[in-house]
Amino acid sequence: MTDATVRARPSTVREAKVVTYARLAKLDVFDYYLSLLVVLSAVLLPIGDFDPAVLTTLGLFGLGAVLMTASLVAFDDLTGYRDGSDTANYRANPTLRRARRKPLVTGALTEPEVECFGWLTAIAGAAVFAVAVMTAPHAPQWTIWLIVANFVVGIQYSYGLKISYHGFQEAYIAALGWVMVLAPYGLVTGRFDGFVLVQALLFGLGPLLFGVYSNTNDIAGDRAVGRPTVAALTTPRGNRRFVAALSLGEFLLGAVASATGVAPWWFVLLMLPVTVLRVRQFGIGFGARGDILRARAIGFTAHRVGAALLVAANLVLAVTK
């Protein structure tokens, strides 16, 4: 063994740990953070009136959101490992579920390491959120309370109060998306807007409509540990109807917004590609083939297409005013 090899080994170990912690934080799943592009598109035009402080606020809010989410998923992995559900769900089909995304299951990280990471990212996230609020162009009280409530509840998702173990998993998955649009919009504009609310509701349904497919795949593991998702609590037919209702509700939300004037008349037409993807997703997941994980993957695509269309809607609306 050469001196060069000895010197190289620590840096290699550090790099591996960084990658492992990135997997723990689920940094490859960026779907919630697309909300920042939606908000930016809503306030970008006219460029002559654009306040550069908006970029700082959105950047700080985004960093706080990444840190908070990293804490949430770290604690979720810790709880899932301790109760055995992650081991059951991921080792059942490691090829499809990519067990490496669960460093505790693979043994890449220890419980104390994950718990420490969860608390450090939670503290850092709270600090960054505080700076974002203090330096924002606006900070209405409803926005501050929304951020605080979301942060406190998020840390309790699978840790502490464990709200996802008491029937609130699906509600929080959607609510996190809603907050990720409404809160930064309030910080940079100081106001509440009906069309932005519609966009927030649609944005939050995106993660929910790939989360419920994950829950369908994880029924056995969730039932074994008493995690009461809708999929685990109801019958296969009841779960199928629940997912169908969410998919239909997403379309109806845009349709009603267009019909009532809250959104432009063309908004429902612009969002039709998402509806088409939802129909395909449901057919693949609950049709004859029953390929739930493939349907879940389509859910990611649908959400990302939807976010891009929300950005397009804001830009079109801005240039046509």
Which class for 13: exposed (0-12), middle (13-18), buried (19 or more C-beta within 10 A)? Answer: exposed
On average, the pLDDT of the chain sits at 90
What pLDDT does 289 receive? 82
Q: Give ∠ CA 210-212-217 in degrees, rounded to 5.
A: 100
Confidence of residue 90 (pLDDT cuts 50, 70, 90): low
- Predicted confidence (pLDDT) at residue 180 exceeds the cutoff of 50: yes
**pTM of the predicted structure, to 2 decimals:** 0.90
Per DSSP, the three-state class of 178 is helix
In tens, the pLDDT along 284-319 reads 999 988 899 999 999 999 999 999 999 999 999 988
Six-digit token pair at 260?
Answer: 């009532």
Rounded CA separation 225/203 (Å): 30
* CB-CB contact of 118 with 78 (8 Å): yes
* The token pair that represents 296 in the structure block: 């879940």
Q: What is the pLDDT of residue 93?
A: 58
Higher pLDDT, 295 or 107: 295
Q: What is the pLDDT of residue 61?
A: 98
pLDDT tens digits along 241-254? 999 999 999 999 99
Residue 13 reports pLDDT greater than 50:
no
